[in-house]
């Protein structure tokens, strides 16, 4: 191999290994779903992830689904926490990657600061539970004494109905 060929190859490989920050958005789930709620997270800033690895679970008003990493990389920021509802397309997390196929997600704002962590006692509410509580004139954010018996320790619609029944007497 000539010196020029070696230099060209080394330069080419360096370009392939350069990393950049991407903004991973909340997925779009169709025309009728405008926001998703974070149910669980399996990652935190500093986590190394592989393409297709389960990062957490998101919930629409109709279902819960697994959210997977779009690429190999290192999680640099998580911008939504369990219980947070975010609109489709909003930045969910940031990953540092060398995957050129993700260049369209390259962050324009740089590393974002993660929002303050949710209180350890804050319950995760299903969308149905939130709606039922609000229809009953209750504020889910202030209801710290409700028992959460839903999947994954979430407050379900049944929990809200039971709460209303026992506190209405």
Each residue's pLDDT tens digit, 115-125: 444 433 457 78
> CA 57, CA 83: separation in Å to the nearest integer?
11
> What pLDDT score does 169 carry?
58
Task: Output the pLDDT for position 66.
Answer: 92
Per-residue model confidence (pLDDT) at position 111: 60
Nearest to 155, CA basis, from 44, 27, 48, 139: 139
Question: Alpha-carbon distance 94 to 24, whole Å?
Answer: 6
pLDDT for the residue 149: 82
Banded pLDDT at 62 (limits 50, 70, 90) = confident
Between 16 and 168, residue with greater pLDDT: 168
Is residue 9 pLDDT above 70, yes or no? no
Structure tokens at 4: 């020029």
- The CATH class of 127-167 is few secondary structures
Answer whether 68's CB lies under 8 Å from 52's CB.
Answer: yes
In CATH, what number does 3-105 get?
Answer: 2.40.50.100
CATH 2.40.50.100: which residues of the chain? 3-105
Which residues neighbour 110 within 8 Å (Cβ) at sequence distance 6 or greater?
21
Note the pLDDT of residue 122.
58
Q: Note the pLDDT of residue 138.
A: 86
Higher-pLDDT residue of 121 and 47 is 47
User: Could you give the residue range(s) of every CATH 4.10.320.10 domain in the chain?
Assistant: 127-167
Tokens of 6: 């070696």
Using alpha carbons only, give the angle 70, 71, 73 rounded to the nearest 5 degrees. 130
């Amino acid at each position: 191999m000539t010196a020029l060929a070696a230099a060209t190859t080394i330069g080419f490989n360096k370009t392939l290994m350069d990393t950049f920050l991407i903004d991973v958005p909340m997925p779009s789930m169709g025309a009728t779903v405008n926001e998703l709620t974070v149910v669980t997270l399996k990652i935190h800033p500093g986590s190394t992830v592989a393409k297709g690895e389960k990062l957490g679970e998101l919930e629409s008003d109709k279902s819960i689904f697994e959210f997977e990493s779009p690429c190999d990389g290192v999680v640099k920021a998580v911008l939504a926490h369990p219980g947070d509802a975010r609109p489709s397309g909003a930045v969910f997390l940031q990953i540092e990657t060398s995957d050129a196929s993700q260049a369209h997600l390259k962050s324009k704002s740089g590393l974002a600061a993660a929002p303050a962590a949710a209180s350890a006692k804050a319950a995760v509410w299903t969308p149905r539970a939130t709606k039922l509580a609000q229809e009953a004139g209750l504020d889910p954010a202030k209801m710290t004494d409700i028992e959460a018996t839903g999947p994954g320790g979430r407050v379900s619609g049944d929990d809200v109905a039971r709460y209303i029944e026992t506190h209405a007497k």
